[in-house]
Amino acid sequence: MAKEFFVKTDVTFGKDAIQEISRILTQFGATNVLVVYDKGVKAVGIADKVVDAIDKDKFNVVEFDGVIPNPTNEVVEAGYAIAKENNIDAFVAVGGGSSMDTAKAINVLTSNGGNIMDYEGIGNVPKPVCPLIAIPTTAGTSSEITNVAALVDTKSVRKYVVIDNKIVADKVIADPEFTRTVPAGVTAATGLDAITHAVESYISNEATYLTKYNSLRGLQIFYENLPKVYENGNDMDAREKMMLGCIVVGFGFSNANLGLVHAIAHTLSAHFGIAHGVANACVLPYVTAFNAEKCPKEMIEMAKAINLPLTGDEEKDKFALANELGRMVKEMGIRPLHEQGREHKITEADFDIIATDALKEGPLHFNPRQDVTKETIIEILRKAF
């Protein structure tokens, strides 16, 4: 059966790549540019480096610094108001996945109007959007090259996605130097997010030879380099490889989709404000073990790809990857679920609503095991607790 493998983004990679930004904006025919970022990116000086690199004689530059982790509809509306007021015709997203997703969503409204939830789901953006340049400062989400914007509806308390090939960034400016200042905890969370993308897309029901190639290579890159960068944030060779790995694995999961880890993580983020990468990491080992019963061959292939010791006994070896992921999560300081939560700590009393809402999540359709129940998710939450 024929499958589509969609790759759109043009990437400029390497040190001082930001110096190309005015040339790129000129090619887009831009006039009024909205630079979208969070206050952390501003604090470490990266936002200023980007803005300073844009030729003010050619472009009117407007800044929006309202991005938050797990961006909400309200944040998107605030950014859209600024874009509309200033007749924005090009966007520059600077930061991690939240900045990219926010910029994509504002861009959708700028060209299409309405409410961002009007475009929830797959392929529901009718009109082409304005040019978007994505400048990642983390290596993990791959949002710079994907067709997804993940957002939170605070009224229904759920995370949802807008998926459309129109919203993919037209250009990526990827300079590994921009990741140098990322703290170890954020490096761990975003790196484990990328590993989650690799694992879930490799075993997805929609996986193909093309997606599996990218997913497996991405897993190898992050497994080798994430521990190095976690220990030494100034290891720029490893930083560069992780940024490249992020693009590679993005090509895999944006075409194959994800699974049960993301279904649970989206719900944890929506209800408790847990950063996306952390939410993934908390449940990744336990979901991987659960899925191993359905796809032992693929689990062993991934274990072999990262040179884990195997016994030759499939019943044991199919859990090698899950066990190793559990070790990595602990080693990188990801706290268990009972210590997570922004507004209040998660308790076992919350498991029912988390499981109920996770069952409504779209990524479940692509999980290799389709026998997922509320009890399944509650048991995974207990193990992660």
91: CATH: 3.40.50.1970
Residue with tokens 């859990």: 319
Distance CA 384, CA 283 (A): 6
List pLDDT tens digits, range 175-231: 999 999 899 999 999 999 999 999 999 999 999 999 999 999 999 999 999 999 999
Could you tell me if residue 35 is inside a domain? Answer: yes
Amino acid at 213: Y
**Are residues 31 and 54 both part of a single domain?**
yes
338, 274 in Cβ contact below 8 A? no
pLDDT of residue 147: 93
Distance CA 94, CA 133 (A): 9
Q: Which of 231, 207, 200, 214 shows the shortest CA–CA distance to 328?
A: 231
- Does pLDDT of 309 surpass 70? yes
Distance CA 237, CA 268 (A): 34
**Are residues 168 and 205 both part of a single domain?**
no
- Does pLDDT of 161 surpass 80? yes
SS3 call for 197 = helix
pLDDT of residue 121: 93
SS3 call for 72 = strand
Could you tell me if residue 3 is inside a domain? Answer: no
**Are residues 126 and 191 both part of a single domain?**
no
Could you tell me if residue 4 is inside a domain? Answer: no
The stretch 34-58 carries a mean pLDDT of 96
- Does pLDDT of 237 surpass 90? yes
Residue range of the domain that includes 117: 10-179
How far is CA 4 from its chain centroid? 21
- Does pLDDT of 336 surpass 70? yes
Distances (CA, A) of 122 to 80, 155, 237, 267, 270: 21, 22, 37, 19, 20
List pLDDT tens digits, range 251-280: 999 999 999 999 999 999 999 999 999 999
**Are residues 241 and 170 both part of a single domain?**
no
316: CATH: 1.20.1090.10
What residues are paired with 149 via a beta bridge?
162
Q: What is the pTM of this model?
A: 0.93
Distance CA 238, CA 244 (A): 10
Neighbours of 134 (CB within 10 A): 27
Q: Transcribe 9-55 into DSSP letters.
A: -EEEESTTGGGGHHHHHHHHT-SEEEEEEEHHHHHTTHHHHHHHHS-
Q: Which of 231, 221, 50, 236 shows the shortest CA–CA distance to 140?
A: 221
**Are residues 301 and 232 both part of a single domain?**
yes
Q: Which of 210, 261, 248 shows the shortest CA–CA distance to 363?
A: 261
Last residue of a domain, one of 147, 179, 211: 179
**Are residues 255 and 157 both part of a single domain?**
no
How far is CA 379 from its chain centroid? 25
- Does pLDDT of 351 surpass 70? yes
Last residue of a domain, one of 161, 179, 197: 179
**Are residues 236 and 169 both part of a single domain?**
no
Cα torsion 336, 300, 206, 135: sign: positive
**Are residues 238 and 345 both part of a single domain?**
yes
**Residue 341: pLDDT band by 50, 70, 90 thresholds?**
confident
Could you tell me if residue 2 is inside a domain? Answer: no
- Does pLDDT of 326 surpass 80? yes
Task: Sheet with 90-95: list strands edge to edge.
Answer: 10-13, 171-174, 132-136, 90-95, 32-38, 60-67
**Are residues 202 and 258 both part of a single domain?**
yes
**Are residues 204 and 270 both part of a single domain?**
yes
pLDDT of residue 6: 77
pLDDT of residue 365: 96
pLDDT of residue 2: 66
Q: Transcribe 322-367 into DSSP letters.
A: HHHHHHHHHHTT---GGG--SSS---GGGHHHHHHHHTT-GGGGG-
Of all residues in the chain, the percent with pLDDT exceeding 70 is: 99
Number of domains in the chain: 2
- Does pLDDT of 1 surpass 70? no
The stretch 19-42 carries a mean pLDDT of 97
- Does pLDDT of 305 surpass 80? yes
Identify the weakest region by mean pLDDT among 83-92, 101-110, 339-348: 339-348
Distances (CA, A) of 8 to 28, 252, 303: 16, 13, 30
**Are residues 191 and 299 both part of a single domain?**
yes
- Listed in sequence order, the residues at least 6 apart from 379 whose beta carbon sits closer than 8 Å to its beta carbon are none
Could you tell me if residue 5 is inside a domain? Answer: no
Query: What's the mean per-residue pLDDT of the chain?
Result: 95
Could you tell me if residue 1 is inside a domain? Answer: no
Q: What are the two backbone dihedrals, phi and then psi, of residue 37, each rounded to the nearest 5 degrees?
A: -160, 175
Last residue of a domain, one of 127, 154, 179: 179
Cα torsion 277, 281, 287, 289: sign: positive
End-to-end CA distance of the chain: 41
Distance CA 1, CA 258 (A): 20
The stretch 96-113 carries a mean pLDDT of 97
**Are residues 129 and 278 both part of a single domain?**
no
**Continuous segment of H or E residues that includes residue 148:** strand 148-153
**Residue 344: pLDDT band by 50, 70, 90 thresholds?**
confident
